Amino acid sequence: MKNLLKNKLFLILFANDLLSNFGDVLYYLALMSYVLQLPDAKVAIALVSVSESLPILTGFVMGHVADRTLDKLGKIFHTLLFRVGLYSLVGIVMGFQPALWVVMVAAAINFFSDLAGQYENGLYIPLSLRIVADEDREASYSFKQAVGFVTAIGFQSLGAVFVSVMSYQALAFVNAGTFLLSAGILFLIKSPIQALLSAKPILVQDKQEGENLARNLWRSMKEAVEACLSIPELRQSIVLTPLLNGLFNILSILIAVIISQDKQFVLINPATTLAAISVAQLLGGILGSVLGMNALKSVSIGAILRSATLLVPFLFLCLYQHWLYGLFFLVFLALVLAAAVNPKMNALILNSLPEEKLALISGGIGTYFQLGSLVLRLIVSGLILFLPVEGVSLVFGLVGVCMIIYAYKGRKSS
């Protein structure tokens, strides 16, 4: 830990990442608050959900592009400026009267911004291997996760205040400004990063003559799944992780729908309610990060995932009953478990990947683990148009019961 606190490049880049995270928090709260004031809020919520779900499919594609990029540092700078332009455009359209077409534009921009973010993350992975020493890498993940959760509590609270006092247009421009400031900070520390890259150049896989992109991507996706299957603890999670990711992901959609229909299902106003849910997640994440470094350090990934399945039926029961405070508590517990298991998975995955395919295969693994989120978000986006939210909650509560049976039956048979 002492080495990390003395690593100025690591700390500056981490602070830079936190800055853009603050902008993202503002944008999410502003967009969801904007959506909830529309007469056709359910359609708008479905649009936003689809725009956030589709990039799940593209993680390994953007990772493939990132792996083949030579000037990774320069391209990171360009992606930041690209996102400045995107959110500036959102700021312009937010100046018009609230309408569904504005949400459509914002959702499309959100999609392209997520693609740029995936590309940027893939570019940064090999840089991080040179900025943080091998022996400090696991500690860096724990440190970033814990600090990220702590600062995000302030971001959510401050974001709720900003949404209450600032226009949606102004908030979009503030988000654009955070990416511009991030680009400026990156420019200032460009020289020491270049020195590290000169001392240890990044390995880039050569493009083969006559290479077929689709076939190469398919092969890489297979390599990602094979990498999971080759690690016993990840093999245990191959079914449960995508489903858990998906079920926890759709909570935000159903919560937004209930808020739009039940004015009693709020704390002060919709923005503060969404922020309070996020704060419950963040508090759980902080506790889970701490427990993951001591009390839960020796607990297996499979055991934590099985425990998480026990929460699923009760989460959807709270939604079915419109029980807000019970939902807060269960979301908190779910994030305790998620924060404890994530560093374990990251360490296992990154320690098994070759550098020249690092972004592609890790992106493929991430895509596979998030497939449940994509499928279930798309299903929910359709179901909320035809079923009451209570019916949707009941359906997924039953899915949770089936997951518990599968998880513990599989444990007995193994």
Residues 12-36, buried b or exposed e (16+ Cβ, 10 A)? bbbebebebebbbbbbbbbbbbbbb
Spans of the chain, pLDDT less than 50: 414
The DSSP 8-state label assigned to residue 269 in this structure reads B
pLDDT at 184 (0 to 100): 93
Domain annotation for the chain: domains and CATH numbers = 2-203+212-413 (1.20.1250.20)
Tell me how far CA of residue 244 lies from CA of 302, 335, 361, in angstroms: 13, 12, 21
Confidence (pLDDT) at 89: 92
Q: Could you report the per-residue pLDDT of 229-244, keeping only the tens digit for each?
A: 776 666 667 778 888 8
Task: Give yes or no for a contact between 68 and 207, defined as CB atoms under 8 angstroms apart.
Answer: yes
Q: What is the CA radius of gyration of the chain?
A: 21
Predicted TM-score (pTM) of the model is 0.70
Q: For residue 80, what pLDDT is reported?
A: 92
In this prediction, residue 221 carries a pLDDT of 64
